[in-house]
């Protein structure tokens, strides 16, 4: 059985008092063990970061960008190994795992342009002989707490930009899928990142609380459930830290009568069931305007859901792999039972898939509900599994009101051929990320991830321009230089804008 370690300057750690088992979701077997760090271990990571970060901050942005370029090259060269690690620990199929790595690399590509992103502002002659300019400087040490479902992408969202702008970074990955973090740490070191600038501290709640308490950690990024996001946001801001905390989601897709239903159905299958539905941007609710639209969509969705190939993520040819662990599988099964008991029409029951009973792995088949109502738990809650609910509404206005009334506001999309409807939807919907005929509207790296309501706490989102602001401090300089022939005497440095 593999034994993982933390990645901290100073070599291997002493034997851990506490460890966590890493399961293979496809086989139900324990494949590795990871140590759970404590405050003392975090102190080592902080000390290493403090020692090297000032010199890194003083390194010009072009040189920092070259490290990001080399890291990108190394990740691409090791992409297959990373994808297989993700598939073996998360359960997602290798094709999905490749997408996990690729979407993270896109943010690293953006970080390669950090000299441009760090440019400040300049105003000449803001007053008599006075110029004003601004600069962005790193905070010092940042930290990231990442979930099990995207072990490569979400860490790269966080550490790539934080490091590129001049900070050190401490990553606390999920203890359920931690191996990709260690691999990326080695690749960063190989790319030329100074030792100590990036550390991986494995752990659970104890490690998170140590990060919140550490005064040297100035900013923290988090992705996970809303209750934990809220707790971390409140605890971190009390300590004076900058916090961006992404929580749960319940993403809706509105289908209008004029939509291309064949396209909508095929894209919804991927959006709902990709990565077994274990992603915060999964579409878990299809809102159909009119019964005819709903009937026609169900007619297309049901056979595709039944036909999905399900099996071990490391085997080629499957559409969907296993859930992360037995607890999550049982939770999803419980929601399916609750939905059926509440009166929703169970069109495709994932619990009846042969692998659910015959395999020791944590499998659940694709599940499709019709006639779901807003009072049902399968509509209200984030299930985080392969369950798609169809809700029927009478009008476009009802669809918008339904989505705006939900506690979560992460992402949504609209299927239509009507440009005016698309424009109205984009304007009136109160959700952070919106797709028009795009089922999973995750922004490209030049823009920021912008969830709302219970899905996101903190003003600034990951990657894009917002994360440059998040991981830097703006300094504004007002300066005046005198001609050597200028008569001395009292100097009035107040800017007169008249």
The predicted-structure confidence for 467-481, as pLDDT tens digits, reads as follows: 999 999 999 999 998
pLDDT score recorded for residue 418: 97
| pLDDT surpasses 50 at 498 | no
- Is residue 141 packed enough to be buried (19+ CB in 10 Å), middle (13-18) or exposed (0-12)? buried
Of these residues, 280, 288, 389, 413, which one is catalytic?
Answer: 280
Q: Where in the chain is the domain with CATH 3.40.309.10?
A: 251-436
CATH tag, 251-436: 3.40.309.10
413 is catalytic: no
pLDDT score recorded for residue 487: 54
Tokens of 477: 């300089």
Q: Where in the chain is the domain with CATH 3.40.605.10?
A: 2-247+455-477
| pLDDT surpasses 60 at 495 | no
CB burial readout 95-107, b (16+ within 10 A) else e:
bbbbbbbebbbbb
The predicted-structure confidence for 67-120, as pLDDT tens digits, reads as follows: 999 999 999 999 999 999 999 999 999 999 999 999 999 999 999 999 999 998
The predicted-structure confidence for 307-329, as pLDDT tens digits, reads as follows: 999 999 999 999 999 999 999 99
Overall average pLDDT of the 283-300 stretch: 98
CATH of 2-247+455-477, one of 3.40.605.10, 3.30.70.20, 3.30.750.24, 3.90.650.10: 3.40.605.10
| pLDDT surpasses 70 at 488 | no
| pLDDT confidence band for 492 (50 / 70 / 90) | low
Query: Are the beta carbons of 179 and 10 closer than 8 angstroms?
Result: no
**Edge-to-edge strands, sheet with 242-246:** 198-200, 168-172, 141-145, 217-223, 242-246, 456-457
pLDDT score recorded for residue 350: 97
| pLDDT surpasses 60 at 491 | no
pLDDT score recorded for residue 42: 95
How high is the mean pLDDT of the chain?
94
Tokens of 15: 């034997």
Overall average pLDDT of the 124-130 stretch: 90
């Amino acid at each position: 059985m593999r034994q993982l370690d933390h990645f901290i300057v100073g070599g291997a750690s002493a034997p851990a008092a506490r460890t966590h088992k890493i399961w293979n979701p496809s086989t139900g077997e324990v494949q590795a063990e990871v140590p759970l760090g404590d405050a003392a271990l975090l102190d080592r990571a902080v000390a290493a970061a403090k020692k090297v970060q000032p010199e890194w901050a003083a390194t010009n942005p072009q040189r920092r960008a070259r490290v990001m370029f080399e890291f990108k090259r190394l990740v691409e060269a090791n992409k297959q190994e990373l994808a297989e690690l993700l598939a073996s620990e998360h359960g997602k199929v290798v094709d999905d795992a490749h997408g996990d790595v690729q979407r993270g690399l896109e943010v690293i590509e953006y970080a390669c342009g950090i000299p441009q992103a760090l440019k400040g502002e300049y105003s000449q002659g803001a007053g008599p002989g006075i110029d004003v300019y601004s600069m962005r400087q790193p905070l010092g040490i940042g930290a990231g707490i990442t979930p099990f479902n995207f072990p490569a992408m979400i860490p790269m969202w966080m550490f790539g930009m934080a490091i590129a702008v001049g900070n050190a970074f401490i990553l606390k990955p999920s203890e359920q899928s931690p191996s990709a973090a260690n691999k990326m740490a080695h690749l960063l070191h190989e790319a030329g990142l100074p030792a100590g600038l990036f550390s991986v501290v494995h752990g659970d709640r104890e490690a998170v609380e140590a990060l919140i308490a550490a005064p040297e950690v100035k900013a923290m990024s988090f992705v996970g459930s809303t209750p934990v996001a809220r707790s971390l946001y409140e605890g971190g801001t009390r300590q004076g830290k900058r916090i961006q905390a992404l929580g749960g989601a319940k993403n809706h897709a509105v289908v209008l009568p004029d939509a291309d239903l064949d396209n909508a159905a095929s894209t919804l299958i991927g959006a709902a069931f990709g990565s077994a539905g274990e992603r915060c941007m999964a579409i878990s609710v299809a809102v159909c305007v009119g019964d005819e639209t709903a009937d026609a969509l169900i007619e297309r969705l049901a056979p595709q859901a039944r036909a999905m190939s399900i099996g071990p993520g490391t085997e080629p040819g499957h559409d969907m792999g296993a859930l992360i662990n037995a607890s999550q599988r049982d939770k999803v099964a419980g929601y399916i039972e609750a939905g059926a008991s509440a009166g929703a029409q169970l069109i495709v029951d994932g619990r009846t898939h042969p692998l659910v009973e015959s395999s020791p792995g944590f499998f659940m088949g694709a599940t499709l509900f019709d006639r779901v109502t807003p009072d049902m738990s399968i509509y209200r809650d984030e299930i985080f599994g392969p369950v798609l609910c169809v809700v029927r509404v009478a009008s476009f206005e009802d669809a918008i009101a339904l989505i705006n009334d939900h506690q979560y506001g992460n992402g949504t999309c609209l299927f239509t051929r009507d440009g005016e409807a698309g424009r109205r939807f984009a304007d009136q919907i109160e959700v952070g990320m919106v797709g028009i005929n795009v089922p999973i509207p995750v922004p490209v790296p030049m823009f920021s991830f912008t969830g709302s309501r219970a899905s996101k706490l903190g003003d600034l989102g990951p990657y894009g321009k917002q994360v440059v602001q998040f991981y830097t401090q703006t300094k504004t300089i007002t300066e005046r230089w005198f001609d050597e022939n200028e008569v001395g005497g009292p100097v009035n440095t107040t800017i007169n804008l008249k």
